[in-house]
Amino acid sequence: MTLRVVKNAVAAIFLFLCGCSVHMNDQGGVYDKTYHSDVKSVLLLDKFSRQTDVRVRHLFFDALKNNLARCNVALNEVQLDAVSLDINRDIDAKIKENNADSLLYVLTTAVDLNQKSQIMGETFRTKFTDIASRKTVWVNDYNISIQSFTLEGFTFDQTRQMVTKVADSIFEKLQKIGILKNCH
């Protein structure tokens, strides 16, 4: 009996220590090495999956906005309607309204769900476009997944970790390839 209790205690400690974690995989991307511009204002267009909680959008926006502020770059967010007769016209109107010089588009390309329809992972494609030239200068894919012994979906704390990892990775990548400059 005591051996069984010890085994259960060890298993419980293992699950507690290893239980759930969020993993991000930068799946790589491409960028235009000839792009040189002084980015001052970015318009974020997000097209997250319908399963994504609205709080995730706010967490992502706030994390990215705080990062970009370190480079004196303003960030405004636009959520486009899912149905539009002229999406390009709608985007142009938002660009003018927000006086943006760049566009960051974040699109969910895949969602991994468990048997309970809880999100276990998402794949995102990010694109950074210079508005003046209408040229996409950076594209990158990210995959976020939850490793859980309980097979439950993301908790809110894990969601916060996930969103922060993605926002930080986007920020670091834009700095590394020279799109964002003079950051502190």
State the architecture of 21-176 in CATH terms: 3-Layer(aba) Sandwich (3.40)
**Residue 13 pLDDT:** 34
CB 111 within 8 A of CB 122: yes
**Residue 17 pLDDT:** 37
- Output the six-digit token pair for 4: 């069984």
Which pTM was predicted? Answer: 0.76
C-beta atoms surrounding 18 within 10 Å: 11
Among residues 147, 114, 161, which one has the least CA distance to residue 19? 147
**Residue 71 pLDDT:** 95
Beta bridge pairs of residue 24? 144
C-alpha 36/C-alpha 184 separation (Å) is 19
Summarize pLDDT for 115-171 with one digit per residue, the tens. Answer: 776 666 778 889 999 999 999 999 999 887 766 544 455 566 777 777 788 899 999
